[in-house]
Protein backbone atom coordinates (compact mmCIF):
# COMPACT_ATOMS: atom_id res chain seq x y z
CA UNK A 1 0.00 0.00 0.00
CA UNK A 2 1.33 3.43 -0.97
CA UNK A 3 0.22 6.85 0.27
CA UNK A 4 1.48 10.19 -1.02
CA UNK A 5 1.13 13.29 1.18
CA UNK A 6 1.25 16.30 -1.15
CA UNK A 7 1.87 19.98 -0.46
CA UNK A 8 2.95 19.45 3.14
CA UNK A 9 4.81 21.85 5.45
CA UNK A 10 7.05 19.37 7.19
CA UNK A 11 8.22 19.43 10.79
CA UNK A 12 10.65 16.51 10.70
CA UNK A 13 10.92 15.99 14.48
CA UNK A 14 14.43 17.39 14.75
CA UNK A 15 14.76 20.61 12.78
CA UNK A 16 12.97 23.57 14.41
CA UNK A 17 12.06 25.13 11.07
CA UNK A 18 9.34 23.90 8.73
CA UNK A 19 10.01 22.96 5.11
CA UNK A 20 7.30 23.89 2.60
CA UNK A 21 5.87 22.16 -0.45
CA UNK A 22 7.12 18.65 0.22
CA UNK A 23 5.82 15.26 -0.86
CA UNK A 24 6.08 12.46 1.70
CA UNK A 25 5.68 9.02 0.19
CA UNK A 26 4.72 6.11 2.42
CA UNK A 27 5.14 2.54 1.24
CA UNK A 28 4.28 -0.58 3.27
CA UNK A 29 4.20 1.27 6.57
CA UNK A 30 7.56 2.99 6.08
CA UNK A 31 8.48 6.51 4.94
CA UNK A 32 9.96 5.73 1.54
CA UNK A 33 10.73 9.14 0.00
CA UNK A 34 10.62 12.83 0.93
CA UNK A 35 11.22 15.69 -1.47
CA UNK A 36 9.88 18.33 -3.83
CA UNK A 37 9.99 16.14 -6.94
CA UNK A 38 8.99 12.69 -5.84
CA UNK A 39 7.55 10.44 -8.53
CA UNK A 40 4.13 9.35 -7.33
CA UNK A 41 3.07 5.85 -8.35
CA UNK A 42 -0.33 5.57 -10.11
CA UNK A 43 -1.78 3.32 -7.44
CA UNK A 44 -0.83 5.64 -4.57
CA UNK A 45 -3.55 7.16 -2.42
CA UNK A 46 -3.11 10.93 -2.60
CA UNK A 47 -3.60 13.16 0.43
CA UNK A 48 -3.43 16.85 -0.40
CA UNK A 49 -2.31 18.54 2.83
CA UNK A 50 -3.10 21.97 1.36
CA UNK A 51 -0.03 23.55 2.93
CA UNK A 52 -0.84 22.22 6.40
CA UNK A 53 1.84 21.12 8.83
CA UNK A 54 2.82 17.45 8.73
CA UNK A 55 4.56 16.10 11.83
CA UNK A 56 5.73 12.77 13.18
CA UNK A 57 3.20 11.04 15.44
CA UNK A 58 3.65 12.15 19.05
CA UNK A 59 5.41 10.01 21.65
CA UNK A 60 4.51 10.06 25.33
CA UNK A 61 7.46 8.76 27.33
CA UNK A 62 5.59 8.13 30.58
CA UNK A 63 2.05 6.74 30.77
CA UNK A 64 0.14 4.09 32.72
CA UNK A 65 -2.58 2.73 30.46
CA UNK A 66 -3.97 0.46 33.18
CA UNK A 67 -4.18 3.32 35.69
CA UNK A 68 -7.96 3.55 35.42
CA UNK A 69 -8.29 5.09 38.86
CA UNK A 70 -6.58 8.12 40.37
CA UNK A 71 -6.40 6.08 43.56
CA UNK A 72 -3.81 3.44 42.68
CA UNK A 73 -4.64 1.43 45.78
CA UNK A 74 -8.02 0.71 44.19
CA UNK A 75 -6.24 -1.83 42.01
CA UNK A 76 -8.02 -4.91 43.24
CA UNK A 77 -10.41 -5.29 40.36
CA UNK A 78 -10.98 -7.89 37.69
CA UNK A 79 -8.09 -7.70 35.20
CA UNK A 80 -10.62 -8.00 32.37
CA UNK A 81 -12.40 -4.84 33.57
CA UNK A 82 -9.16 -2.89 33.95
CA UNK A 83 -7.88 -3.96 30.55
CA UNK A 84 -11.19 -3.02 28.89
CA UNK A 85 -10.76 0.45 30.37
CA UNK A 86 -7.13 0.46 29.21
CA UNK A 87 -8.53 0.00 25.71
CA UNK A 88 -10.57 3.17 26.18
CA UNK A 89 -7.56 5.08 27.54
CA UNK A 90 -5.32 3.97 24.67
CA UNK A 91 -7.91 4.87 22.03
CA UNK A 92 -8.03 8.37 23.50
CA UNK A 93 -4.25 8.68 23.28
CA UNK A 94 -4.23 7.73 19.60
CA UNK A 95 -7.10 10.16 18.95
CA UNK A 96 -4.93 12.91 20.46
CA UNK A 97 -2.08 12.10 18.07
CA UNK A 98 0.12 9.83 20.20
CA UNK A 99 1.28 6.97 18.01
CA UNK A 100 3.77 5.55 20.53
CA UNK A 101 3.68 5.55 24.33
CA UNK A 102 6.08 4.15 26.90
CA UNK A 103 4.19 2.47 29.70
CA UNK A 104 5.96 3.04 33.01
CA UNK A 105 4.24 0.30 34.95
CA UNK A 106 1.18 -1.91 34.57
CA UNK A 107 0.65 -2.71 30.90
CA UNK A 108 1.52 -6.26 29.88
CA UNK A 109 2.55 -8.01 26.68
CA UNK A 110 -1.07 -8.98 26.04
CA UNK A 111 -1.99 -5.34 25.55
CA UNK A 112 1.02 -4.85 23.26
CA UNK A 113 -0.14 -7.76 21.13
CA UNK A 114 -3.78 -6.67 21.16
CA UNK A 115 -2.73 -3.32 19.67
CA UNK A 116 -0.30 -4.86 17.19
CA UNK A 117 -2.94 -7.25 15.88
CA UNK A 118 -5.62 -4.56 15.75
CA UNK A 119 -7.94 -5.95 18.45
CA UNK A 120 -7.55 -2.65 20.26
CA UNK A 121 -7.06 0.78 18.70
CA UNK A 122 -4.20 2.54 20.38
CA UNK A 123 -0.63 3.78 20.17
CA UNK A 124 2.29 1.39 19.83
CA UNK A 125 3.06 0.31 23.39
CA UNK A 126 6.61 0.07 24.71
CA UNK A 127 6.25 -1.49 28.13
CA UNK A 128 8.19 -1.83 31.37
CA UNK A 129 5.89 -4.53 32.73
CA UNK A 130 5.43 -4.07 36.46
CA UNK A 131 7.60 -1.43 38.14
CA UNK A 132 10.03 -2.80 40.72
CA UNK A 133 9.57 -1.40 44.22
CA UNK A 134 11.10 -2.20 47.58
CA UNK A 135 8.87 -2.95 50.55
CA UNK A 136 7.45 0.39 51.66
CA UNK A 137 8.46 1.89 48.34
CA UNK A 138 6.43 3.91 45.87
CA UNK A 139 5.08 0.75 44.23
CA UNK A 140 4.01 -0.86 47.52
CA UNK A 141 0.29 -0.17 47.46
CA UNK A 142 -0.59 -2.63 50.22
CA UNK A 143 -2.53 -1.40 53.19
CA UNK A 144 -0.48 -1.21 56.36
CA UNK A 145 -2.61 -4.03 57.75
CA UNK A 146 -0.97 -6.62 55.52
CA UNK A 147 1.09 -9.24 57.33
CA UNK A 148 4.88 -9.33 56.78
CA UNK A 149 5.72 -11.35 53.71
CA UNK A 150 2.21 -10.98 52.34
CA UNK A 151 3.35 -9.52 49.08
CA UNK A 152 1.63 -8.71 45.81
CA UNK A 153 3.74 -10.42 43.22
CA UNK A 154 0.81 -11.36 41.04
CA UNK A 155 -0.82 -8.98 38.63
CA UNK A 156 -4.15 -7.87 40.01
CA UNK A 157 -6.26 -5.34 38.15
CA UNK A 158 -4.68 -1.94 37.85
CA UNK A 159 -1.54 -2.78 39.81
CA UNK A 160 1.48 -1.03 38.40
CA UNK A 161 4.25 -2.43 40.60
CA UNK A 162 5.73 -5.51 42.26
CA UNK A 163 7.73 -5.79 45.44
CA UNK A 164 11.28 -7.12 45.64
CA UNK A 165 14.05 -6.76 48.20
CA UNK A 166 17.73 -7.69 48.22
CA UNK A 167 20.04 -8.32 45.31
CA UNK A 168 18.75 -11.83 44.54
CA UNK A 169 15.11 -10.77 44.46
CA UNK A 170 15.62 -7.61 42.41
CA UNK A 171 17.59 -9.59 39.83
CA UNK A 172 14.84 -12.18 39.67
CA UNK A 173 12.14 -9.51 39.35
CA UNK A 174 13.96 -7.68 36.54
CA UNK A 175 14.60 -10.92 34.67
CA UNK A 176 11.02 -12.03 35.19
CA UNK A 177 9.54 -8.80 33.82
CA UNK A 178 11.79 -8.98 30.74
CA UNK A 179 10.87 -12.65 30.31
CA UNK A 180 7.22 -11.57 30.23
CA UNK A 181 7.88 -9.03 27.49
CA UNK A 182 9.10 -5.84 29.19
CA UNK A 183 11.30 -3.81 26.84
CA UNK A 184 12.96 -1.95 29.71
CA UNK A 185 13.00 -2.07 33.50
CA UNK A 186 11.13 0.48 35.59
CA UNK A 187 12.08 1.09 39.18
CA UNK A 188 10.82 3.24 42.01
CA UNK A 189 13.97 4.95 43.30
CA UNK A 190 12.39 7.53 45.60
CA UNK A 191 9.21 8.35 47.42
CA UNK A 192 6.24 9.58 45.45
CA UNK A 193 3.62 12.27 45.47
CA UNK A 194 0.37 10.36 45.08
CA UNK A 195 1.30 7.56 47.50
CA UNK A 196 0.62 7.74 51.21
CA UNK A 197 3.27 5.77 53.08
CA UNK A 198 6.55 6.83 51.49
CA UNK A 199 8.05 10.27 52.24
CA UNK A 200 9.14 12.03 49.07
CA UNK A 201 12.61 12.68 50.48
CA UNK A 202 13.66 9.06 50.94
CA UNK A 203 15.78 6.98 48.60
CA UNK A 204 14.57 3.52 47.62
CA UNK A 205 16.67 0.42 46.89
CA UNK A 206 20.28 0.25 48.07
CA UNK A 207 23.18 1.10 45.77
CA UNK A 208 23.86 -2.63 45.52
CA UNK A 209 20.27 -3.36 44.47
CA UNK A 210 20.24 -0.49 41.96
CA UNK A 211 23.48 -1.69 40.35
CA UNK A 212 22.15 -5.26 40.16
CA UNK A 213 18.97 -4.11 38.37
CA UNK A 214 20.98 -1.99 35.89
CA UNK A 215 23.28 -4.96 35.26
CA UNK A 216 20.27 -7.16 34.42
CA UNK A 217 18.78 -4.56 32.07
CA UNK A 218 22.09 -4.02 30.29
CA UNK A 219 22.55 -7.78 29.99
CA UNK A 220 19.22 -7.78 28.14
CA UNK A 221 20.47 -4.92 25.93
CA UNK A 222 18.11 -2.46 27.42
CA UNK A 223 17.96 0.17 30.17
CA UNK A 224 16.45 1.24 33.47
CA UNK A 225 13.97 4.08 33.91
CA UNK A 226 13.85 5.37 37.46
CA UNK A 227 11.10 7.25 39.26
CA UNK A 228 12.99 9.84 41.34
CA UNK A 229 12.23 13.33 42.63
CA UNK A 230 15.10 14.52 44.82
CA UNK A 231 18.75 15.28 44.05
CA UNK A 232 19.73 12.52 46.48
CA UNK A 233 17.58 9.85 44.79
CA UNK A 234 18.48 11.03 41.27
CA UNK A 235 22.18 10.91 42.11
CA UNK A 236 21.91 7.37 43.50
CA UNK A 237 20.03 6.20 40.39
CA UNK A 238 22.43 7.91 37.97
CA UNK A 239 25.53 6.64 39.74
CA UNK A 240 24.14 3.10 39.48
CA UNK A 241 23.74 3.59 35.71
CA UNK A 242 20.03 4.30 35.25
CA UNK A 243 19.26 5.75 31.83
CA UNK A 244 16.18 7.89 32.42
CA UNK A 245 14.97 9.84 35.46
CA UNK A 246 11.21 10.16 35.64
CA UNK A 247 9.68 13.38 37.06
CA UNK A 248 12.85 14.81 38.65
CA UNK A 249 10.89 17.81 39.93
CA UNK A 250 13.28 18.67 42.77
CA UNK A 251 16.50 18.46 40.74
CA UNK A 252 19.26 21.01 41.51
CA UNK A 253 22.14 22.35 39.40
CA UNK A 254 24.75 19.88 40.66
CA UNK A 255 22.52 16.89 39.95
CA UNK A 256 21.62 18.23 36.51
CA UNK A 257 25.33 18.58 35.77
CA UNK A 258 25.92 14.96 36.78
CA UNK A 259 23.06 13.81 34.52
CA UNK A 260 24.46 15.77 31.59
CA UNK A 261 27.92 14.27 32.14
CA UNK A 262 26.50 10.74 32.15
CA UNK A 263 24.30 11.39 29.10
CA UNK A 264 21.23 10.44 31.13
CA UNK A 265 17.70 11.58 30.31
CA UNK A 266 15.12 13.56 32.23
CA UNK A 267 11.50 12.70 31.44
CA UNK A 268 9.47 15.50 33.06
CA UNK A 269 5.79 14.83 33.76
CA UNK A 270 4.45 18.23 34.74
CA UNK A 271 0.79 17.85 33.85
CA UNK A 272 0.22 15.07 36.39
CA UNK A 273 0.79 17.16 39.50
CA UNK A 274 -0.76 20.23 37.85
CA UNK A 275 -4.04 18.43 37.20
CA UNK A 276 -4.11 16.67 40.57
CA UNK A 277 -3.76 20.05 42.28
CA UNK A 278 -6.81 21.28 40.40
CA UNK A 279 -8.91 18.19 41.11
CA UNK A 280 -7.73 17.62 44.70
CA UNK A 281 -11.15 17.87 46.34
CA UNK A 282 -12.84 15.62 43.85
CA UNK A 283 -10.49 12.71 44.48
CA UNK A 284 -10.30 13.04 48.23
CA UNK A 285 -6.51 13.01 48.59
CA UNK A 286 -5.22 13.19 52.13
CA UNK A 287 -3.59 16.39 53.35
CA UNK A 288 -0.24 14.61 53.36
CA UNK A 289 -0.58 13.64 49.70
CA UNK A 290 -1.86 17.09 48.70
CA UNK A 291 1.06 18.83 50.38
CA UNK A 292 3.49 16.59 48.47
CA UNK A 293 1.65 17.10 45.17
CA UNK A 294 1.51 20.90 45.56
CA UNK A 295 5.22 20.97 46.41
CA UNK A 296 6.40 18.97 43.37
CA UNK A 297 4.01 20.92 41.14
CA UNK A 298 5.55 24.23 42.22
CA UNK A 299 9.03 22.97 41.48
CA UNK A 300 8.15 21.33 38.15
CA UNK A 301 8.77 24.25 35.80
CA UNK A 302 11.95 25.19 37.62
CA UNK A 303 13.28 21.64 37.20
CA UNK A 304 12.84 21.91 33.45
CA UNK A 305 14.74 25.21 33.39
CA UNK A 306 17.57 23.76 35.49
CA UNK A 307 17.83 20.71 33.22
CA UNK A 308 17.80 22.78 30.01
CA UNK A 309 20.44 25.17 31.38
CA UNK A 310 22.74 22.22 32.18
CA UNK A 311 22.16 20.64 28.75
CA UNK A 312 20.49 17.55 30.12
CA UNK A 313 18.74 15.39 27.52
CA UNK A 314 15.05 16.14 27.98
CA UNK A 315 12.18 13.87 26.93
CA UNK A 316 8.41 14.28 27.27
CA UNK A 317 5.96 12.44 29.51
CA UNK A 318 2.64 12.95 31.26
CA UNK A 319 2.04 10.24 33.91
CA UNK A 320 -1.71 10.80 34.16
CA UNK A 321 -3.93 8.52 36.19
CA UNK A 322 -7.65 7.89 36.05
CA UNK A 323 -10.06 7.65 33.15
CA UNK A 324 -10.98 11.35 32.94
CA UNK A 325 -7.58 12.87 33.68
CA UNK A 326 -6.02 11.28 30.60
CA UNK A 327 -8.02 13.86 28.66
CA UNK A 328 -5.49 16.47 29.79
CA UNK A 329 -2.50 14.66 28.25
CA UNK A 330 -1.68 17.49 25.84
CA UNK A 331 -1.72 20.14 28.55
CA UNK A 332 1.91 19.09 29.02
CA UNK A 333 2.61 21.21 25.90
CA UNK A 334 0.94 24.35 27.29
CA UNK A 335 2.52 23.97 30.74
CA UNK A 336 6.02 23.60 29.29
CA UNK A 337 5.43 26.59 27.01
CA UNK A 338 5.63 28.77 30.13
CA UNK A 339 9.40 28.19 30.22
CA UNK A 340 10.45 26.90 26.80
CA UNK A 341 9.83 27.40 23.11
CA UNK A 342 6.90 25.22 21.89
CA UNK A 343 9.12 23.75 19.19
CA UNK A 344 11.54 22.46 21.84
CA UNK A 345 8.68 20.69 23.62
CA UNK A 346 7.61 19.23 20.29
CA UNK A 347 11.15 18.01 19.55
CA UNK A 348 11.16 16.39 23.03
CA UNK A 349 7.84 14.68 22.22
CA UNK A 350 9.11 13.30 18.90
CA UNK A 351 12.77 12.70 17.94
CA UNK A 352 14.20 13.20 21.44
CA UNK A 353 11.74 10.79 23.03
CA UNK A 354 12.67 8.25 20.36
CA UNK A 355 16.34 8.63 21.34
CA UNK A 356 15.44 8.36 25.02
CA UNK A 357 13.65 5.08 24.26
CA UNK A 358 16.59 3.81 22.15
CA UNK A 359 14.36 3.89 19.05
CA UNK A 360 16.01 6.75 17.13
CA UNK A 361 15.38 6.65 13.39
CA UNK A 362 12.52 4.20 13.85
CA UNK A 363 9.89 6.55 15.31
CA UNK A 364 9.50 10.26 16.07
CA UNK A 365 10.93 11.55 12.79
CA UNK A 366 9.86 12.25 9.24
CA UNK A 367 12.88 10.64 7.68
CA UNK A 368 13.33 7.95 5.04
CA UNK A 369 13.25 4.50 6.64
CA UNK A 370 11.23 5.51 9.72
CA UNK A 371 7.87 3.98 10.50
CA UNK A 372 5.10 6.01 8.90
CA UNK A 373 3.58 7.56 12.04
CA UNK A 374 2.25 10.83 10.63
CA UNK A 375 -0.05 13.67 11.68
CA UNK A 376 -1.45 16.41 9.46
CA UNK A 377 -2.64 19.31 11.61
CA UNK A 378 -4.52 22.58 11.38
CA UNK A 379 -2.34 25.26 12.97
CA UNK A 380 1.38 25.35 13.66
CA UNK A 381 2.44 23.27 16.67
CA UNK A 382 6.01 24.60 16.40
CA UNK A 383 4.76 28.00 17.60
CA UNK A 384 1.36 27.28 19.18
CA UNK A 385 1.38 24.90 22.18
CA UNK A 386 -2.43 24.66 22.12
CA UNK A 387 -2.68 22.93 18.75
CA UNK A 388 -2.82 19.50 20.39
CA UNK A 389 -4.99 20.41 23.39
CA UNK A 390 -8.29 20.36 21.50
CA UNK A 391 -8.80 16.62 21.90
CA UNK A 392 -7.78 15.77 18.37
CA UNK A 393 -10.03 18.36 16.66
CA UNK A 394 -7.09 19.96 14.86
CA UNK A 395 -5.77 16.63 13.60
CA UNK A 396 -6.83 16.04 10.01
CA UNK A 397 -4.81 12.87 9.59
CA UNK A 398 -3.56 10.36 12.13
CA UNK A 399 -1.51 7.59 10.54
CA UNK A 400 0.26 4.82 12.42
CA UNK A 401 2.52 2.29 10.70
CA UNK A 402 1.22 3.52 7.34
CA UNK A 403 -2.44 2.86 8.21
CA UNK A 404 -4.98 5.65 8.67
CA UNK A 405 -6.54 5.92 12.10
CA UNK A 406 -8.18 9.13 10.89
CA UNK A 407 -8.29 10.80 7.50
CA UNK A 408 -10.55 13.85 7.23
CA UNK A 409 -9.54 14.30 3.60
CA UNK A 410 -10.96 10.94 2.50
CA UNK A 411 -14.02 11.27 0.27
Which residues make up the interface to Zn ion (CB under 5 A)? 104, 227, 319
Say what the alpha-carbon torsion angle 150, 151, 155, 160 is, to the nearest 10 degrees. 140
| Closest distance of CB 194 from Zn ion, Å | 8
What is the number of the residue whose Cβ is closest to Zn ion? Answer: 227
Closer residue to Zn ion (CB): 138 or 336: 138
How far from chain centre, in Å, is Cα 335?
16
Nearer to Zn ion, 108 or 319 (CB): 319
Shortest separation between residue 246's beta carbon and Zn ion, angstroms: 5
Rounded to a whole number of angstroms, the minimum distance from the CB of residue 61 to Zn ion is 10
**Between 25 and 293, whose beta carbon lies closer to Zn ion?**
293
When the beta carbons of 134 and 382 are compared against Zn ion, the nearer one is 134
CA distances from 136 to 88, 122, 204, 242 (A): 31, 33, 9, 21
| Least distance in angstroms from the C-beta of 63 to Zn ion | 8
Min dist. Cβ of residue 273 to Zn ion (A): 11
State the minimum distance, in angstroms, from the CB of residue 104 to Zn ion. Answer: 4
- Closer residue to Zn ion in complex, CB, 158/382: 158
| The pairing of beta strand 244-247 with beta strand 224-228 | parallel
Closest to Zn ion by CB, 159 vs 397, is: 159
CB of 59 to Zn ion, least distance (A): 16
Please say which residue, 291 or 390, places its beta carbon nearer to Zn ion.
291
Amino acid sequence: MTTAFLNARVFDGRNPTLRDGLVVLVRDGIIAEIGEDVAIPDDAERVDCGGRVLTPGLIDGHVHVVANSVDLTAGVQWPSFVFAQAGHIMRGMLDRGFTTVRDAGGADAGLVRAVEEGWLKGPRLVISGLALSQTGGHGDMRTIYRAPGEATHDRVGSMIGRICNGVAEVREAARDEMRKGAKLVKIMASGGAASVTDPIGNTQFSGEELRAIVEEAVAWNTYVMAHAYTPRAITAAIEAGCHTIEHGNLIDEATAKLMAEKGAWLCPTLVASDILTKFADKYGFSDTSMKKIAFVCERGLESLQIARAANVNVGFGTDLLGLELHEYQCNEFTIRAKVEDPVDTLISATSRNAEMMCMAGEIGEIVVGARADILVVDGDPTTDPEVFTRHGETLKVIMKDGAFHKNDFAA
